[in-house]
Structure 1
């Protein structure tokens, strides 16, 4: 039949590429087959069966219909062109860098790296884990410390974590005050003040020397300081140690190539932003923060640590170490609420160090410093006053014709650090030299700052400096210790070698470009190539976060449009896009609730009710907002126990601050009566915080605000298609009701002009990780209002289809009305363990032999799998996963019948490596059953590079730096 123009245009839309067999202009046979299996007449009828009638809405999204990839990219290009990317000399912790193209193309733009999940299943994540171990080794070497974590969110957050770590570590010191050097980065001071206020701690900001006599539990120094100054903190650190206080030093990795390491000064914690190692500025992120400490604090350090262990064959293997410290286990007693780290960005920085090696880094750093010396010498000859007398890459200057200098800078399309505009000082300017700066750029800076007729020549000045020697780094602060001596940093300096090294690591990891990852609550959906393309456009990638607003019009418009999308989706009138992870969104939302109560004279409201089934980050975030966590029960069906919740809310109504509620529930169902729950909390004076982890099951069919929530965070790396990146980046904007809008985060250096102006920051940059926001903008634009609703409905269909197929072999633990699940289901594996001794871990590892990553394991119920197929998986891929699970159940049944030995069977020995498969074989099951358990596995065969890893060995023998090179030779 001849198709109409509208039908042809519909086929060009993106929706059908995101939702396999969605029926919107494409072949509808798969959708019909799944509907038949679950026994539903249509996708609308199924939705009505699943979603409670009082929250299910008719199509309502005020978002234009879906666009083609061509249309969306062209429009976003028009916004990008509104940005003006000037040469940046602003500094303040953000540096213009050069990412080697071999890393750009083969890691940042490679789905093998950016679509992987957090390495909780280490046997199929050895490549990422090695890159992260390299990151830890790099940071340990550069800082001269003993232990590093595998990254945090940004420098400001890392500094706040350092303060919290100091407070819980100094048992003898009863002070309630933390000292901050006034020469610290202003955005860092802002974030630390916000965290301290929430904990009820005091902040003293002043000259660094004042710390020696201050009554404080800890101190933070910046090295080099924001004005570029370089100083030795050894004596100050000794004085603070004498007062039983801990000392954190914020620093810059590139500067440490030339400068004495903070660890050699006696620092307890060293932190900073790894962005200077080859990651674009991206209007503020994402970038990996680094965090190092001494070995004695290994159980107090926040974030994840990569450690070295062994596998079942005694072969070296990597894993995340000391996981018992994590918030999912310790809940409100956790060190931090950190969930999403910055794994992809940490890997980019570690590869930068591997590619350049110590010699290459020394050359880059020496060149940066030499250009800074030349600039300083020329400016002084020209009569310009230097504020700082030592430096690595940054000069702070005073000029008599400041406005004229700024006018010439704008005309030349370069940005100096305008301290007056940034609220730092009224009479100074700053210049930070970068890896991109050339001799010609320094010559241009002379023209801009000194005006015409200065007669200075870069090369003549260089000759003079060579003859006289440089004194800009005091002799006692020049680096003498070696760094990056491990062979990994000394053998991959040609592109061929580097390319092959990264490919070897990539091949060890299972990512979304190989097979579906069915992690419940983590929503591992399609991260479309079209959505990723704008991230590396220079107009988005190369923008400094503190560039003048006149240069960021495209960013502002794109972010504004994204916020409008999110308002339409959530129903909230205000959006704060600053939180740069879901856990940060929780923290920011709870702070808004706390400040709202305080504004009404009800600051005593500090009780946070949290159902027993909640995410581990919920109680950890509540603790960070100084709330008292009261846990409420769930009934036998996994629902919030309304009677228990009501009783506790009424009992504590005078102290009730909020309820943290995940919807649909963490148990994978739409609970009945959620509106009544919200009403009841409001009636007792509290607010409702709705965790957005499961927002993918609400988009287009209901809204948090419609249900009754006051604030919700949105995991852009789940619901809105930003890739997980192997454990980060992420973004967690919050939507808030009107009464909370004045209380969300803002920023002291780059304030956002809305009613929250004047509030403190929760992230280092005003829009968090702004450079990945185009991904979510593209996703929503491509899907349109029509596609977003259809995506949610398909997520429900596919989860119920998978649950139906699996229910004939495994018990499905919870279901909602009409026996349906929501967008995910929980498979109960506890009876199997009781009857056969086969555990959920055995099944998770066996899935690797079938070419799959395990679902979410033992959360929210121990001994279960939580499985979420997502709307973007085809019926064929879902069937492949179901077939694998059914085949595994057959193996379990064989164990139960005695046909397979209870201990010596394919599940207990899984996963099977190629090395094991071709080696001596003495097992009572065949090699073929071990590695090719189903006939259709050939094209999908993934070989784990190591066998099952010994977690206990790894924690008892903690090694968190690169092993000797002999361990890599095989």
Structure 2
């Protein structure tokens, strides 16, 4: 019997007390401390315990979160500028955002166990395609400005007519979009011109044009003529469009645009102080194989049933490395599902009604203000007004704020007001009064009662085409039906709420309920990212404290949480290195050394940072090949900018040469980027900033417990040494390519011992990475709560627990599937690579066959074929208990016996339970069973599976057929029926 857990650490770490002792006996060590002391090289061990506040209980931490939340001042948010208040239908809030079956799922690389979330994402794609009038959409991007940057790269890559022209941005684009695109251009050295395109296109060769619909000023643009002119000059066109407005406006695709991008935030996703929010991208035919990120496609399974998968998956899963134009690895899958279900629940009529209501509110306000002599800049608008108040803008904004409404301070003479689905007559009356309208309440009531309702814009700009015609957008109007639809989809998947997800490199650990609780509190979720600092002290206290704790954990001087994915953290860190060299007059340093075993995002991020990738060979033991490393430094010494190292290595081993590698790069004048993807094996034992790193990105969705959400949200903070601090990401709302940011209270970084975020004065001037100062702030309470409840000692115990779990699994399975790479005394770090290649050579059974067969045992597969083809990489994490690890090991040992049976000729390979896996309920129940093994062997290979058996909804999916015949929108309803 184990002792009843008494602390959060006891509840977070799966194997404690007697269970841990039994595991240690199997591994052959007397204690977890002894195990860690042997595994982790003494040369990198930190000398002191983590200097963090003592661990606190769940209730204490929730009380402290309540106290911080109370410092925030929720307002009626009418700032706009790409962010809108919205109502998350409670049935979606409870059954998606707050449901572990949705938020703990992993990216759907194993599609047979991901059919529910794949259908949700396919709904998202169909919604975007229909609303934008373009035939291909992906399954989400990170935020609107970075989606525009992706579209710009897509135009530069695919426009063969004008491959070397400039990119032209309309001046009416969102300011943060202009900042992000110009920031990316500064690294990649292509020309960007910002112009008032109402006056026509500028002179010169143009590769691509970016337009906004409606503009940030609120103006509705008729883009048809401008798009036609751009096409005549050989340019491609991207339109950044508000999805809700497209229920009323002619969509970009019908006006001739090549690409549409934007945000789905106002489709039921809270403001979250800036994120996470699902961006979208859709394209015309012919561009589908250049779309960044993931595309969900429709294929068939081995019985001919309709099945979903990630289409063009090889391109996305194994990013194009040094040939990359995008480093997107995760996106915002969970938030894309929320947005898609918002459309499913409301349907086309509901969305149009919401859009019309927002438009009516804007019209009513414009009418009342016009009667008081206050005119809008534009007479064609959807939901946003830019109002002329010469010299009075600050006073109007302050008056509205004092009465509980936030407006946009455009400049000294203009105020912006953005209406949305939550806008009421009382809100409009408050705004009118702030502008000086007398008896504002009555004036609004009279205008609302007497005014025309419906969309008031020129007929040629009004949408006439149908959208959201698929039955899925017409079938779930009642809460009962919607609840059951969401449950049905969730039941089709294997997420962490049902089973261990033993994914090497991805760290699928517990996302505790107490950690998750605060993110939907309105004092956190309802704050606009551009709200005044006086309203956001609680948020900034939390962020500053979290950044400081992460700095202590990593040994770095400064941390910025702005990057909203691990890939974006990589880019931020490399851009900091690049600008550091340039600031020192060493702009020629542009070579980035990257080991051959590295994840594809490393090379892709280096390319996007304007660096040249040079690959360093890997030695047989998985470490860096020293001879090749030395030769590459000698060859590129004066041009060396950095090396990117993953530590522990991508092979799951603590290489003992890491200090030597770091020292050699520093001696050559370069910087060391230590990829923090595997920080789960270091926290409390070693600090990257102390054993040679100059910069690291962290994955809060790995080490620090933010859930993966089926492929996002993620947060990828960047941590740097003191000399790189000035080059951390700047604020996109303040930044310009020449001078960085200037406002002293707007920085996104905090320094250890600097005090709370609300007190800080240091402002980085680096290239902004995300649309808002703090990126995906909405999920940061999760990591803050985890660190606060664990404390320094608990975090260290978690690391040791992860080492014990990985070595226990490695020890139990090594006689069946040899562990490919080990370090000191045959130990691994937090993960192990199981080598199947000999068995495959003897039996023909592949690692993919094993991955599919694991589904029959009720498991998500380990990481398949990375970093070595023909292998599986396993990471149990510290959260799994010994019973679940034993269940996994028993499954793998049983599969080993099945492989040996194939090798011995018991079954022909093509008719084996491995090659025909996974087994669906319909296959097992079929009267046509003609396989050379029993139904019981197929469905219940272990007797323990007879209770709570998971049956996948589809059999093995034909990926090649899906790629040959790309379909990425909802199939006809008959396909579902069949």
Question: Which is further off, 780-789 or 60-69?
Answer: 60-69
| Aligned ranges 1:271-310 → 2 under 5 Å | 271-310=261-300
Secondary structure in structure 2 of the residue aligned to 1:429: strand
Aligned to 1:892: 899
CA distance, structure 1, for counterparts of residue 433 and residue 854 of structure 2: 65
C-alpha displacement of 1:808: 1.5
Partners of 2:49 and 2:77 in 1: CA distance: 44
1:940 Cα deviation after fit: 4.0
- C-alpha root-mean-square deviation of aligned residues, in Å? 1.5
Structure 1 residue 384: Cα displacement = 0.6
Equivalent residue in structure 2 for 1:415, among 406, 410, 427: 406
Q: How does 1:33-72 map to 2 (within 5 A)?
A: 33-72=22-61
Query: How far 1:463 moved relative to its partner?
Result: 4.0
Give TM-score, length-normalised by structure 1. 0.96
Counterpart CA distance in 2 for 1:705 and 1:939 is 49
Change (3 A) 1:198 1:745: same
- Tell me, in whole angstroms, the C-alpha distance in 1 between the residues paired with 2:297 and 2:722: 46
Q: Please say if 1:804 is aligned against 2:811.
A: yes
Q: Does 1:458 align with 2:444?
A: yes
Match of 2:858 among 845, 851, 854: 851
User: Aligned residue for 1:149?
Assistant: 138
Higher alpha-carbon deviation: 470-479 or 360-369: 470-479
Deviations 1:792-825 (CA, angstroms, capped at 9, x unpaired): 0010011000000000211110100111111000
For residues 211 and 327 of structure 1, the distance between their equivalents in structure 2, rounded to whole angstroms, comes to 41
Aligned pairs, how many?
951
How far apart, in 1, do the equivalents of 2:487 and 2:360 lie?
36
| CA deviation vs aligned residue, 1:524-546 (integer Å, no higher than 9, x gap) | 00000110011100011010000
Residue in 2 that maps onto 1:422: none
Q: How much does 1:836 deviate?
A: 0.6
Q: Which residue of 2 aligns with 1:550?
A: 534
For 2:753, the equivalent position in structure 1 comes to: none
Partner of 1:813: 820
Residues in 2 aligned to 1:811 and 1:95: alpha-carbon distance in whole angstroms: 54
Is the aligned partner of 1:383 residue 2:377?
no
CA offset digits 1:470-514 (Å, max 9, x no partner): 785222111111110100000101001111111111110000000
- Equivalent residue number for residue 737 of structure 1: 721
Structure 1 counterpart SS, 2:26: helix
Using the TM superposition, give the Cα deviation of residue 634 of structure 1 relative to its aligned residue in structure 2, in angstroms: 1.0
Q: Which of 933, 954, 959 matches 2:941?
A: 933
* Alignment partner of 1:566 is 2:550: yes
- 2:324 pairs with 1:330: no
Distance 1:759 1:688 in 2: 18
Q: Residue 188 of structure 2: which of 189, 199, 205 is its match?
A: 199
Q: 1:844 to 1:84 in 2, by over 3 A?
A: same
Distance 2:83 2:101 in 1: 28
Deviation for aligned residue 1:285 = 0.3
Residue 17 (structure 1) aligned with residue 11 (structure 2): yes
Report if aligned partners of 1:851, 1:940 keep a CA contact under 8 Å in 2.
no
Q: Does the 8 Å CA contact 1:378/1:456 hold for their aligned counterparts?
A: no
Q: 1:327, 1:336 within 8 Å by CA — same for their partners in 2?
A: no
The match for 1:705 is 689
Other-structure match for 2:971: 963
Partner of 1:883: 890
- Tell me whether 1:761 sits opposite 2:768 in the alignment: yes
Q: Is the 8 A contact 1:251 1:270 kept in 2?
A: yes
Find the aligned partners of 1:897 and 1:217 in 2 and give their Cα distance: 61
Structure 1 residue 454: deviation in Å? Answer: 5.2
* DSSP 3-state at the match of 1:660: strand
Q: Residues 914, 455 of structure 1: CA spacing in aligned structure 2 closer, same or farther, 3 A cutoff?
A: closer
Distance 1:453 1:844 in 2: 69
Q: Secondary structure of the residue that 1:336 maps to in structure 2?
A: coil
* Distance of 2:434 and 2:198 partners within structure 1: 36
C-alpha distance 640-111 of structure 1, shift in aligned 2 (>3 A)? same
Q: In structure 2, which of residues 148, 158, 179 is the aligned counterpart of residue 190 of structure 1? A: 179
**Aligned equivalent of 1:527:** 511
- Residue in 1 aligned with 2:959? 951
Contact 1:393 1:434 in 2 (8 A): yes
Who is 1:119 aligned against?
Answer: 108
CA deviations over 1:813-868 (Å, ceiling 9, x no partner): 01001111110000011111111100011000000000000000000000100100
- Identify if the C-alpha distance between structure 1 residues 668 and 470 changes in structure 2 by more than 3 Å, giving closer, same or farther: closer
**How far does residue 754 in structure 1 lie from its aligned partner after superposition?**
5.0
Structure 2 residue 472 is matched with structure 1 residue 488: yes
Instruction: Say whether the 8 Å CA contact 1:211–1:240 is kept in structure 2.
Output: no
Cα distance, 1:462 vs structure 2: 2.8
Report Cα offsets for 1:272-331 as digits up to 9, x if no partner. Answer: 000011100100000000000012011111110000000000111000001232262422
- On the 8 A contact 2:359/2:455 being kept in 1, the answer is no
After superposition, the C-alpha distances for 1:908-961 in whole angstroms (9 at most, x for unaligned) are 100000000100211110000100000111234211000000011000111011
Which residue, out of 908, 924, 931, partners 2:932? Answer: 924
Give 1:395's aligned residue.
385
Partner residue in 2 for 1:88: 77
Following TM superposition, by how much is the alpha carbon of 1:244 offset from its aligned partner in structure 2, in angstroms?
A: 1.1
Asked if 1 retains the 8 angstrom alpha-carbon contact of 2:507 and 2:703, the reply is: yes
Distance 2:762 2:696 in 1: 19
Query: Given that residues 745 and 756 in structure 1 are in contact (C-alpha distance below 8 angstroms), is that contact kept between their aligned partners in structure 2?
Result: no
Are the structure 2 counterparts of residues 390 and 257 from structure 1 closer, same or farther at C-alpha, using a change threshold of 3 Å?
Answer: same
Task: Name the structure 1 match of 2:755.
Answer: none
SS at match of 1:909: coil
SS at match of 2:265: helix
What CA distance in whole angstroms lies between the structure 2 residues aligned with 1:481 and 1:557?
A: 48
Residue aligned with 2:71, SS = coil
Q: Provide the rounded CA distance (Å) in 1 between the counterparts of 2:869 and 2:318.
A: 12
- Structure 2 vs 1, CA of residues 327 and 660 (structure 1 numbering), >3 Å: closer, same or farther? farther
Deviation (angstroms), 1:460: 2.1
The reply on whether 1:659 has 2:643 as its aligned counterpart is yes
With over 3 angstroms needed to count, the CA separation of the structure-2 counterparts of 1:21 and 1:454, relative to structure 1, is closer
Pick closer, same or farther for the CA change 1:655–1:205 going to 2, 3 Å: same
Q: Which residue of 2 aligns with 1:3?
A: none
Aligned to 1:320: 310
Per the normalisation by structure 2, the TM-score is: 0.96
Shift of 1:461: 1.2
Q: Is the 8 A contact 2:368 2:432 kept in 1?
A: yes
- Measure, in 1, the Cα distance between the counterparts of 2:544 and 2:377: 39
Q: Secondary structure, in 3 states, of the residue corresponding to 2:690?
A: helix
What's 2:801 paired with? 794
CA distance in 2: counterparts of 1:245 and 1:684, whole angstroms: 43
Task: Report what 2:756 is aligned to.
Answer: none
Q: In the alignment, does 2:834 pair up with 1:827?
A: yes
The alpha-carbon distance between structure 1 residues 121 and 514, as it changes in their structure 2 partners (threshold 3 A), is same
Does residue 436 of the first structure (1) align with residue 430 of the second (2)? no
DSSP-derived class of the 1:618 partner: helix
Q: Secondary structure at the match of 1:873?
A: coil
Q: Which residue of structure 2 lines up, in the alignment, with residue 4 of structure 1?
A: none
Aligned: 1:262 with 2:252 = yes
Return the offset for 1:371: 1.0
- Contact 1:218 1:247 (C-alpha < 8 Å) held by counterparts: yes
